[in-house]
Structure 1
Amino acid sequence: MSRRRIGFWYRLAAVLVKPPLLVFFKRDWRGTEHIPETGGFLTVVNHNSAVDPLSYAHFQYNSGRVPRFLAKESLFKSGFVGTAMRGTGQIPVFRESKDAIGAFRAAVEAVHKGECVAFYPEGTLTREPGMWPMKGKTGAARVALETRAPVIPVAQWGANLAVPPYPKRGEIKLFPRKTLIVQAGPPIDLSEFYGREPTAAVLRAVTDRIMDEITAQLADVRGEDPPPQRYDHRAVEQRPEQVPPQQQPQNGQQAESSQRADDAPQARPAQQDTAPPSGAGGENA
């Protein structure tokens, strides 16, 4: 099979979703010439709004190559949404379970069948203060090295101006109408990594290359320079200053705690991570 047929459920989703998008947003699609006409491939996409999966799906649908998203398995369980997810062939992700590797296998199989599999490598909405892409997870890198299929970087901007990530009351502003910009770039050259053992270091290098290319596309869209260092929200959330106030030492304890810290021996450097098994689900879409 060279490409996935646009079936009933995808066409129904388009009928339901496209009219509201046309009402509330303007469109600016760029780089559709980089979407392969035939054969399996991956797209890797930034994520800065709860609306942007719809804008990206609209862009991709118009190219004639409908994507298969990796989505959390709870969306597949019941109701119309679950039926639509199954009908459109989306791929369930069972996070932190023995079934997590199934998403990797399904993604590889889909690419080998000539389909498009779409990854959000950040794994969540961006928490980067300037809405730039964050540090990515390695799921897309694993599939890319296994299949050696083209990897197309896609940048989005505009949906976040109407519906920002994690919006508070009053922050959703649909009017005046915003422009949804979706820009695809040329395939990422990962040939230097082919044939190498997919160690943690190799997967991280491939993932960083992927995130660099997505960021470059977004910088072109925004006409701005990205930050020199990529934001890692997991590292930020684990900093000591993020400990909830109730866990902080009381004033009377601060001097004693500080003295104990000064007297304590320096901690030894952490051991370097070893590579997880190929296809493990710890770092997925």
Structure 2
Amino acid sequence: MESRSPYAAAPFMWRFMLVLARIIVFPLCRLRVTGDISPELRRGPLILASNHVSPFDPIVMTAACHKIRIAPRIMATGGLFDAPIAGAAMRKAGHIRVDRRSATVADALPAAARALKDGALVLVYPEGRIGLDPWMWPERGKTGVARMAALTGAPVLPVAQWNTHAVLPYTTPKHLLRSLLRAVRHRPVVHVRFGTPVDLTHLTGTPGAQAMQATRLIMAGIDATLAPLRTSEMETPHYVDTTRAEDLSRVRPRRHADNHVTH
């Protein structure tokens, strides 16, 4: 008997949430999904590493996953798991809790590694927060994704999303109703692009040095996946989220296609 696809084998609650995300997204924006994932990678294990620009990102990413028929397990902040309704849904969907700035944050890495060794797709935001780069490019990443890849041998595929900040700004849920009404009125175009796996085969040095090298390569891969989505706004976004703070401490050097270093 032919085995079910990984999407069909996902928990019912997660498949329901994937459909629900498409319904939520439709009135708020026009979702454009580009790129794809090969059949070999879809069977897992696979790490999806995405940039993070808005509180709306997880909903858009869920809708994009539904559109291309994948059901990755998401590494999500512990606060979601503590919410009365959302928490139960996240647990039933099989997502992975990350308690940042707590003594149990290290528990997330073994949990993700176990999921990957079981052949799962795992989605993670390697920046660890909504990025505060003034130009809205990905910040320096945490080494967790690189360590997950090293532990499991799972390939890392960069994913980029863009213009979600035009739907929900950085300070959401403050002025949430106003933001939603503006989004319904304008329905901005929001992009999600699935890239190509990052080559992590030529790393050298100690495990720590390799994790740092791999992290830089992964973030550069997200840059390269994001660049085609914002070709006319490489420096300053067309839509500026005035609620975002700016933090220069984690800004990364970034190369344009002409190899000039910016930032």
Q: Same fold (TM over 0.5)?
A: yes
Aligned equivalents of 1:59, 1:133: Cα separation in 2: 20
Match in the other structure for 1:233: 247
- Structure-2 residue corresponding to 1:116: 121
**Counterpart of 1:163 in 2: which secondary structure?**
coil
Deviations along 1:218-261, whole A, 9 cap, x unmatched?
1111115856xxxx937379xxxxxxxxxxxxxxxxxxxxxxxx
After superposition, what is the alpha-carbon deviation per residue over 1:94-130, rounded to whole angstroms, capped at 9, x for unaligned? 3344422211001111111111111101111111112
Are 1:3 and 2:6 matched, yes or no? yes
Q: Match of 2:199?
A: 189
Choose 167-176 or 147-156, whichever is displaced more: 167-176
- Specify the alignment match of 2:156 in structure 1: 151
- TM-score normalized with structure 2 length: 0.79
Q: Deviations over 1:183-205 (max 9, x none)?
A: 011110001128x6421x32221
1:141 and 1:20 map into 2 onto residues whose CA distance is 33
Change (3 A) 1:190 1:77: same
Q: CA deviation at 1:178?
A: 1.1
Over aligned residue pairs, what C-alpha RMSD do you find? 2.6
Cα separation, 2, equivalents of 1:76 and 1:160: 24
2: CA distance, partners of 1:163 / 1:95: 23
Q: 1:26 aligns with which of 13, 24, 30?
A: 30
Distance 1:226 1:210 in 2: 19
1: CA distance between counterparts of 2:108 and 2:58? 19
CA contact (8 A) 1:34 1:184 kept: no
Conserved? CA contact 1:34–1:187, under 8 Å: no
Shift of 1:73: 2.0
Identity %: 32
1:126 is aligned to 2:126: no
Instruction: Find 2:75's aligned residue among 53, 70, 73.
Output: 70
TM-aligned CA deviation for residue 79 of structure 1: 1.4
* Residues 212 and 76 of structure 1, relative CA distance in 2, 3 Å threshold: same
| Cα distance, 1:85 vs structure 2 | 0.7
Give the partner amino acid of 1:198.
Answer: P
Change (3 A) 1:155 1:15: closer
CA distance in 2, matches of 1:64, 1:171: 29
Give the match's secondary structure for 2:6.
Answer: coil
Quick check: 1:79 aligned with 2:87?
no
Residue aligning to 2:104: 99
Q: Report the residue type matching 1:38 in the other structure.
A: R
Q: Alignment partner for residue 187 of structure 2, among 174, 177, 184?
A: 177
Q: How does 1:260-279 map to 2 (within 5 A)?
A: none
Residue among 166, 169, 174 paired with 2:171: 166
Distance 1:79 1:66 in 2: 23
CA pair 129-97 structure 1, distance change in 2 beyond 3 A = closer
Measured in 1, the distance between the counterparts of 2:73 and 2:248 equals 27
Q: Give, as a single letter, the amino acid of the residue that structure 1 aligns with 2:231.
A: G
Task: Tell me the equivalent position of 1:204.
Answer: 212
> 1:146 Cα deviation (Å)?
1.2
Tell whether the 8 Å contact from 2:127 to 2:138 is kept in structure 1 after alignment.
yes
Separation of aligned partners in 1, 2:126 and 2:228: 19
Deviation at 1:33, TM superposition (A): 3.6
Structure-1 separation of matches of 2:203 and 2:115: 22
Q: Which has the larger radius of gyration?
A: 1
Pick one of 41, 45, 48 that aligns with 2:53: 48
Q: Which amino acid aligns with 2:197?
A: P
Partner of 2:242: none
Q: How many residues align?
A: 231
